[in-house]
C-alpha cells in the first residue's frame, strides 16, 4: 500500500487490448467514429433491455479477445459488473465464456474497480491474463433506477443520459502483440456521503467522492495535477464538474487545465438533448477503450489519472429516503515505450 | 495460477479475527450459543429491513475489529457485498468506516468471493490488513427476490429460509494476537447454468456450480476428498446436497463422508419450519465465523474446503423467464500451528 489508499504496482500490468460497443445515440455523438461496433437497434437482437445489455458485454469481450489474438480459454479471471440489480447483465452476458468470474459492484465506478482488481490479480502474479468488463444501457437503467420509459417523464437539466455501451479490457503480465497502455497504480476509493438525495442530479452525488479520490491519489503518489496530462472523471456531467472544481479548490487543488469528463465528451448535449451529459458504467468504459487508450497509445498523452465515479443508490434505498453516497476509484495509466 | 482456476498463496494470509451477529431465529437454532451477538428484534433498531441489514454489517465488523484489538483506520481495504439490488446493505452499512471499499457481487457465494479477493490483496502485499464482510436478512431478501412478507405466501419443501446475519473477517499478512485459521489458497468459480428456473429451489440451481468448483479445486491442488477434514458448502440445503452428491458421483468423486452444508446445520428444520435449510450470504458467513473457524482454531479440523454457493438471479431476470445460473468460490482453510 502506498500512502493511505493507493497501490503502486512493482510489476506493472499491460492493457494489451480493448473493445467497445455502443448504441445508436452514442454513435451519433462526437466520438461516434471511434467505437469498435455500433448497434443501430438498441435491442441488439435481444427480447428485453436487460438481455440487450448482456449482449453488449458478450460482444465487447469478443472484440477485445479477437484484437489480442486470444482464445477465451486463455483468460484466467474475468472481473465484471454493471448497474442492474444482482448484476444480471454481467452474469448472463459472460456465463458463456466459462472463465473464473469475479462479480463487482461499484455503480458507475465499476470500470475503475474492475481495472483495480484485475490489476492486482495480474501484478500479484495470481493471473497471467485477466479481462475487465462493464456495461450500461439507457433503457435498462431508467427502468432500474427511475421510471419506465413508457411514462415519458420530463428530465431536469441536472439529469444525465445513461450511455448504452460496454467496454472490455485485457490485462496481461507481459506485453501482447500490442500494448494500449501500462497500469502504474490505483487508488481505491472510500464511500463519500454528502447527504444528497436527488436521483436526477447524480453529478452532485458523485463529485465529493471524485474530489476525495483525486486528492488522496495525488497525496499518496506525491504528485500535483501537473504531473498528469489528463485527469479524467467518469460521468460527473456539467453540474458535477463544477462542483468538483469547487471542492478541490477548497483543498487548494486546481485541476481545471487537466480535467476531462467522459460524460461531457461522449454526447453533444445541445444537439443530442442529453442535458448534463452521459453517465453509466458504460460511459467511462467505452471512452477509455475508444478515446483515452488511443491517445495514450499514440503518445499524445504520457500519463493519465482515470477516475470513474459511481452513485451508490438503489430504487429501494431512494424510495426509503436514503441519501445517495458516491464512490470513485482511480487508475493511473501510462504511455508504453517499447524497450 | 494453479491449474485452471486456483491460486495457492506463497504468503498465506491469516484470518486473525472474526465477528458474527444473527437474528432471533438463528439464535434459537442448534448453533445459537456460538454467535457473538443476537438481535432479538430483527429490525436491529432500524426503520426498515434494508437498514436493519446494514446495521448487521456494521456490527459484525465492529466485533471483528474489537476482538483483534484494531482500530478501523488500520483496515487498508474492505471487501463487501450482499444480496440486495446495488448492494445497499454494504454501502450504507460500511460507509462510516471510511476504508477503501471494494464492492462485490456473488449472490450467496459472496463470503467466498470476498475472502478470495481479500486473500489476493494480502498475499500480494497490496494490503497489510483487509476486512471481508457479507450479510443477508430474511425479510429484505424475501422482498428483493420473491414476495413481500405481508402476502403470507406458502413455501414449498425445496425452499430455504434466508439467514438473518452477518459475518466479518480480518485478514492479515502477519499473525495477530490470535490466529483463527490460515488461508492456503482459493478456487475462483465459473458461472454454471443447468437451465433451472425455480426460485423456490435454489439448492438445485447452485448444486451444479458447487460440484464444478469442488471437482476443479481437487484437480488443481492434486487432492482427493480425503485430504480434507471437511468439505463445506454454503447453502445448498437438503435438496441441493442430494444433487451435489449425485453430480459428483457421476464424476467419480465421493464427498459423502466429508460433506457439511451450512444451510442444513444452522437450523433444526423440523422444529423451526425452515424446509430445505438456511440460505443467504449471511448463512455461510456466520457459520464460518462461529463454528468452522472454531473447529480449525481448536485443531479438531486441520484442513477444510469452504465453498459458499450463490444463485445468480434477480426479480427482473426471473420474471423475464431467465434461468438461474449458479456460482461457487472455494477457500482452503488450515489450522494454524504456532511456529
How high is the pLDDT of residue A40? 87
Nearest to A92 by CA among B195, B279, B213: B195
Nearest chain A residue (CA) to B191: A95
Q: What are phi and psi of A229, to 5 degrees?
A: -75, -35
Cα–Cα distance measured from residue B320 to residue B41, given in angstroms and rounded to the nearest whole number: 36
Cα–Cα distance measured from residue A185 to residue B53, given in angstroms and rounded to the nearest whole number: 34
In chain A, CATH 3.40.47.40 sits at 6-172, 183-334
Sort A21 into a burial class: Cβ within 10 Å, 0-12 / 13-18 / 19+: buried
pLDDT digits (tens, 9 = 90+) for B59-90: 999 999 999 999 999 999 999 999 999 999 99
Closest approach of A192 to chain B, Cα-based (Å): 7
Residue pair A17/A178 in contact (Cβ under 8 Å)? The answer is yes
Mean pLDDT of A183-197: 97
Q: Do B1 and A128 touch (CB under 8 A)?
A: yes
DSSP-assigned states of every residue in B63-105: HHHHHHT--GGG--EEEEE-SSGGGHHHHHHHGGG---EEEB-
State the best of B83, B93, B103 to mutate against chain A, taking most chain A CBs within 10 Å: B103
Q: Which of residues 143-202 of B touch A (CB under 8 A)?
A: 144, 188-191, 193
Q: Do B123 and A120 touch (CB under 8 A)?
A: no
* Architecture of the domain spanning B6-172: 3-Layer(aba) Sandwich (3.40)
List the beta strands (DSSP E) in A82-159: 101-103, 129-136
Residue pair A132/A115 in contact (Cβ under 8 Å)? The answer is yes
Q: Tell me the three cell numbers of residue B326.
A: 449458479
Q: Please name the residues in contact with A247: beta carbons below 8 A apart, sequence gap of 6 or more.
A: A207, A208, A211
Out of A5, A320, A327, whose CB is closest to B50? A320
Per-residue pLDDT of chain B (339 residues; tens, 9 = 90+): 899 999 999 999 999 999 999 999 999 999 999 999 999 899 999 999 999 999 999 999 999 999 999 999 999 999 999 999 999 999 999 999 999 999 999 999 999 999 999 999 999 999 999 999 999 999 999 999 988 788 888 889 999 999 999 999 999 999 989 999 999 999 999 999 999 999 899 999 999 999 999 999 999 999 999 999 999 999 999 999 999 999 999 999 999 999 999 999 999 999 999 999 999 999 999 999 999 999 999 999 999 999 999 999 999 999 999 999 999 999 999 999 998
Question: Between β-strands A37-39 and B230-233, what pairing exists: parallel, antiparallel or unpaired?
Answer: unpaired
pLDDT digits (tens, 9 = 90+) for A135-171: 999 999 999 998 878 888 888 999 999 999 999 999 9
Mean pLDDT of A6-26: 98
Cα–Cα distance measured from residue B224 to residue B217, given in angstroms and rounded to the nearest whole number: 10
Residue pair A218/A253 in contact (Cβ under 8 Å)? The answer is yes
Cα–Cα distance measured from residue A212 to residue A194, given in angstroms and rounded to the nearest whole number: 12
Question: CA triplet B143, A150, B148: central angle to 5 degrees?
Answer: 10
Cα–Cα distance measured from residue B155 to residue B178, given in angstroms and rounded to the nearest whole number: 43
Mean pLDDT of A6-27: 98
How high is the pLDDT of residue B150? 83
Nearest to B82 by CA among B48, B46, B58, B47: B58
How far apart, in Å, are the Cα atoms of A244 and each of A208, A213, A224?
7, 11, 16
Residue pair B195/B339 in contact (Cβ under 8 Å)? The answer is no
Question: CA triplet A196, A197, A201: central angle to 5 degrees?
Answer: 80
Q: Which helix (H) or strand (E) holds A238?
A: helix A237-250
Q: Do B126 and A126 touch (CB under 8 A)?
A: no
Nearest to A240 by CA among A272, A296, A185, A283: A283
State the best of A91, A106, A217 to mutate against chain B, taking most chain B CBs within 10 Å: A91
Q: Which of residues 61-80 of B touch A (CB under 8 A)?
A: 76-77
Is the entire prediction scored with pTM above 0.90? yes
Q: Which helix (H) or strand (E) holds A76?
A: none
Q: Which of residues 92-111 of A touch B (CB under 8 A)?
A: 92, 94-95, 98-107
Q: Do A325 and B94 touch (CB under 8 A)?
A: no
Q: Tell me the three cell numbers of residue B276.
A: 430445505
Contact with chain B for residue A85, Cβ under 8 A: yes
Contact with chain B for residue A314, Cβ under 8 A: yes
DSSP label of B235: S
Q: Tell me the three cell numbers of residue B86.
A: 446495488
Q: Do B124 and A128 touch (CB under 8 A)?
A: no
> How many CA atoms are closer than 13 Å to the CA of A93, on its beta-carbon side?
34
Cα–Cα distance measured from residue B308 to residue A136, given in angstroms and rounded to the nearest whole number: 28
Out of A92, A188, A327, whose CB is closest to B77? A188
Q: In this model, does residue A187 exceed pLDDT 90?
A: yes
Three-state DSSP state, A198: coil
Which residues of A fall within a CB distance of 8 Å from B106?
102-103
Q: Do A94 and B47 touch (CB under 8 A)?
A: no
pLDDT digits (tens, 9 = 90+) for A70-128: 999 999 999 999 999 999 999 999 999 999 999 999 999 999 999 999 999 999 999 99
Cα–Cα distance measured from residue A256 to residue A237, given in angstroms and rounded to the nearest whole number: 14
The position carrying cell 493511505 is A4
How high is the pLDDT of residue B154? 86
Q: Tell me the three cell numbers of residue B98.
A: 471510511
Which residues of B fall within a CB distance of 8 Å from A91?
191, 312, 325
Nearest chain A residue (CA) to B141: A86
Residue pair A144/A279 in contact (Cβ under 8 Å)? The answer is no
Q: Cα torsion at B255, B256, B262, B268 (round to 10°)? A: 180
Closest approach of B227 to chain A, Cα-based (Å): 24
How high is the pLDDT of residue A68? 97
Q: Which residues pair with B306 in a beta bridge?
A: B232, B331
State the best of A88, A130, A199, A281 to mutate against chain B, taking most chain B CBs within 10 Å: A88
Mean pLDDT of A235-261: 98
Residue pair B129/B76 in contact (Cβ under 8 Å)? The answer is yes
How high is the pLDDT of residue B137? 97
How high is the pLDDT of residue A317? 95
Three-state DSSP state, A227: helix
Q: In this model, does residue A1 exceed pLDDT 90?
A: no
Look at chain B and count its residues: 339
pLDDT band at A331 (very low <50, low <70, confident <90, very high): very high
pLDDT digits (tens, 9 = 90+) for A255-299: 999 999 999 999 999 999 999 999 999 999 999 999 999 999 999
Q: What are phi and psi of A172, to 5 degrees?
A: -145, 145
| A/B interface, count of CB pairs below 8 Å | 164
Range list of H helices, B146-236: 202-221
Q: Tell me the three cell numbers of residue A118.
A: 484485475
Mean pLDDT of A10-39: 98
* CATH top class, domain A183-334: alpha beta
DSSP-assigned states of every residue in A83-110: SSGGGHHHHHHHGGG---EEEB--GGGH
Amino acid at each position: 500500500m502506498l500512502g493511505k489508499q493507493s497501490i503502486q504496482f512493482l510489476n506493472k500490468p499491460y492493457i494489451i487490448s480493448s473493445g467497445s460497443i455502443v448504441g445508436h445515440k452514442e454513435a451519433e455523438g462526437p466520438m461516434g467514429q471511434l467505437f469498435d461496433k455500433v448497434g443501430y437497434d438498441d435491442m441488439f437482437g435481444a427480447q428485453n433491455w436487460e438481455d440487450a445489455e448482456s449482449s453488449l458485454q458478450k460482444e465487447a469481450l469478443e472484440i477485445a479477445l479477437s484484437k489480442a489474438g486470444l482464445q477465451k480459454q486463455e483468460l484466467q479471471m474475468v472481473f465484471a459488473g454493471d448497474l442492474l440489480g444482482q448484476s444480471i447483465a454481467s452474469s448472463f452476458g459472460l456465463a458463456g465464456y466459462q472463465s473464473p468470474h469475479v462479480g463487482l459492484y461499484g455503480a458507475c465506478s465499476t470500470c475503475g474497480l474492475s481495472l483495480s482488481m484485475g490489476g492486482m490479480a495480474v501484478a500479484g502474479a495470481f493471473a497471467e491474463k485477466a479481462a475487465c468488463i462493464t456495461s450500461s444501457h439507457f433503457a435498462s437503467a431508467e427502468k432500474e433506477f427511475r421510471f419506465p420509459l413508457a411514462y415519458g417523464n420530463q428530465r431536469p437539466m441536472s439529469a444525465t443520459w445513461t450511455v448504452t455501451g460496454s467496454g472490455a479490457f485485457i490485462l496481461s503480465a507481459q506485453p501482447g502483440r500490442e500494448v494500449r497502455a501500462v497500469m502504474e497504480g490505483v487508488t481505491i476509493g472510500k464511500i463519500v456521503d454528502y447527504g444528497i438525495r436527488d436521483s436526477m442530479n447524480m453529478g452532485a452525488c458523485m463529485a465529493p467522492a471524485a474530489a476525495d479520490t483525486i486528492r488522496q491519489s495525488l497525496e499518496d503518489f506525491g504528485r500535483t495535477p501537473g504531473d498528469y496530462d489528463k485527469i479524467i472523471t467518469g460521468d460527473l456531467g456539467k453540474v458535477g464538474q463544477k462542483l468538483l472544481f469547487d471542492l478541490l479548490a477548497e483543498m487548494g487543488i486546481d485541476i481545471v487545465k487537466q480535467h476531462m469528463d467522459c460524460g461531457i465528451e461522449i454526447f453533444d448535449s445541445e444537439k443530442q438533448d442529453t442535458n448534463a451529459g452521459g453517465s453509466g458504467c458504460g460511459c467511462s468504459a467505452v471512452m477509455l477503450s475508444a478515446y483515452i487508450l488511443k491517445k495514450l497509445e499514440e503518445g499524445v498523452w504520457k500519463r493519465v489519472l482515470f477516475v470513474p465515479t459511481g452513485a451508490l443508490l438503489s430504487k429501494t434505498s431512494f424510495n426509503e429516503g436514503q441519501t445517495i453516497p458516491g464512490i470513485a476509484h482511480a487508475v493511473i495509466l501510462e504511455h508504453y515505450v517499447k524497450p
